[in-house]
Structure 1
Amino acid sequence: MPQHIFRDYDNAIQQLQEDLLTMATLTRQNLEQAMQALLRSDTDLANTVIAADSDVDELERKVDQIGMEILVRFHPVATDLRLILTSMKISTNLERISDHAVGIAKRARKINQGQPMQEVQLLEPLYAQAYALLRDAMDSYTNHDAVLGQALHEKDREIDRLHKQLSRTLSSQLELANGRSAAWLHLIFIARSLERIGDLSVNIGEETVFLESAIDIRHEHRKQALPNPPPAP
């Protein structure tokens, strides 16, 4: 992007948000298509996801460039400053989610090279929860809904529960695999990617809470799970 392309502050902010929302749409599409490539044994769709990831990468770079342009030229403060910083952090999380979608597509492509594997359907409940969490995370940002953003921690616990349960099932099947251990390993790693997508979506919700309230809730859910620390000496 050329230097000082934006002469108007409001136009710069608008472009930043539009690019971020476009990035979110493409990321969700990549995740959905990657899982459909697995569930429907559609290698062409897997290839589409792999090719589309470059668009997400380019949008991440664009969001970062616009964000830096605004910070350097306009020196935003308060809510506007938080908007720039959180938008840049959210774009990083979206790019990582898209990377996981590409990883799923690549593993789906390898699984599809073998005999049909009905057990891929075991991943559908975990995928449904991960996709819903990503949707809710972006809804919290778009609708300025800090309450929804904070609630994502609780929803992520269900993803963690499903992932642990599925990992046990897949690991037990791996031990019984006859010449198909690679396919079962791919499923285990796909399940792990879906669990990570849940974590990254929670990050987006945390950024939304910070944007709307200036309160940093990162790691708070972990602190609540720990016993009270001893008093300082």
Structure 2
Amino acid sequence: MIVNAEQERRELNKTVLEMLTLCISQIEKATDAFLIHDIDLAEQVMYTETHVNALDIKIERDCEHFLALYNPVAIDLRFVMATLKINFDLERIGDHAFGISKYIVDQNKKIDPHLFKVLKFDVLYETITAMFENITEAFENNDVKAARKVFKQDKILDKINVQSFEIIENEIKKNPDVIDQTLLLFGVIKKIERVGDLVKNIAEEIIFYIDAEVLKHKKKK
């Protein structure tokens, strides 16, 4: 069977979408496990990390093969460059899912629902979920508008992350017994905030691939 560049691009795109879907699922499962203190679910996420790593290696090799075989230029070259960077960011998202799950298994601490509420964990989760939906839409349909939506959403995560330290400090002053829970919760908030940054990176790469617009290092307005 003769395979051309367009067919290989479609196959590579399909694999990256599989990786994207898997990493999103990993974060959602890890966060759900944290919310309901489900150690079995956390261990499932940790076990699935091997699949994430396998896809990471496959995408890297397929990109190298595409570069070597077709010597791409213009949009094809941007596609491969963007794919390599997106794959790197997705693998790191998978790492954060693994890290959250490891917290749950190793520390085995149930979080007081009050702490979830005051630290706006529901808003955090809703926001990262919306970012996942937008980035999937952007990737599947080459939708630059959907990709740009994640920039504003990422600022919500940043704000919650910044505010969390002061809130945790106040909660510990009121009740020193919650220090272990708050530190664990703070660690998970930091990881989700970093996932938001990685999703933003992916959005930038999608825009770069489609519109040849480089957003990285642009001055903030």
Q: Same fold (TM over 0.5)?
A: yes
Note the C-alpha offset of 1:203.
0.5
Asked if structure 2 preserves the Cα contact closer than 8 Å seen for 1:34 and 1:46, the reply is yes
Structure 1 range deviating more: 134-143 or 210-219: 134-143
- CA pair 158-56 structure 1, distance change in 2 beyond 3 A: same
Please identify which structure carries the higher helix content.
2
Show the counterpart of 1:85: 81
Show the counterpart of 1:31: 27
Show the counterpart of 2:65: 69
Separation of aligned partners in 2, 1:69 and 1:124: 43
Structure 1, unaligned runs of 5 or more: 1-5, 226-233
1:39-78 equivalent positions in 2, closer than 5 A: 39-78=35-74
Secondary structure (helix, strand or coil) at the match of 1:224 reads coil
Structure 2, unaligned runs of 5 or more: none
Task: In structure 2, give the amino acid aligned to 1:169.
Answer: I
- Per-residue CA deviations over 1:40-87 (Å, capped at 9, x if unaligned) read 111000000111111111111110100000001111111111111111
Separation of aligned partners in 2, 1:66 and 1:115: 43
CA RMSD of aligned residues (A): 1.9
Asked if structure 2 preserves the Cα contact closer than 8 Å seen for 1:33 and 1:46, the reply is yes
Give yes or no for the alignment of 1:100 onto 2:96.
yes
Separation of aligned partners in 2, 1:120 and 1:34: 18
TM-score by length of 2: 0.90
Show the counterpart of 1:229: none
Give yes or no for the alignment of 1:187 onto 2:182.
no
Asked if structure 2 preserves the Cα contact closer than 8 Å seen for 1:171 and 1:188, the reply is no
Give yes or no for the alignment of 1:197 onto 2:205.
no
Give yes or no for the alignment of 1:153 onto 2:148.
no
Separation of aligned partners in 1, 2:71 and 2:109: 56
Separation of aligned partners in 2, 1:119 and 1:108: 18
1:216-227 equivalent positions in 2, closer than 5 A: 216-220=214-218, 223-225=219-221
Separation of aligned partners in 2, 1:204 and 1:210: 10
Secondary structure (helix, strand or coil) at the match of 2:213 reads coil
Asked if structure 2 preserves the Cα contact closer than 8 Å seen for 1:86 and 1:211, the reply is yes
Asked if structure 2 preserves the Cα contact closer than 8 Å seen for 1:170 and 1:187, the reply is no
Separation of aligned partners in 2, 1:124 and 1:139: 23
- CA pair 83-218 structure 1, distance change in 2 beyond 3 A: same
Separation of aligned partners in 1, 2:105 and 2:175: 19
Sequence identity (%): 27
Secondary structure (helix, strand or coil) at the match of 2:18 reads helix
TM-score by length of 1: 0.85
Note the C-alpha offset of 1:23.
0.5
Note the C-alpha offset of 1:173.
2.1
Structure 1 range deviating more: 173-182 or 141-150: 173-182
Asked if structure 2 preserves the Cα contact closer than 8 Å seen for 1:134 and 1:197, the reply is no
Separation of aligned partners in 2, 1:185 and 1:84: 40
Asked if structure 2 preserves the Cα contact closer than 8 Å seen for 1:39 and 1:120, the reply is no
Work out the number of aligned pairs and report it: 217
Asked if structure 2 preserves the Cα contact closer than 8 Å seen for 1:37 and 1:46, the reply is yes
Show the counterpart of 1:210: 208
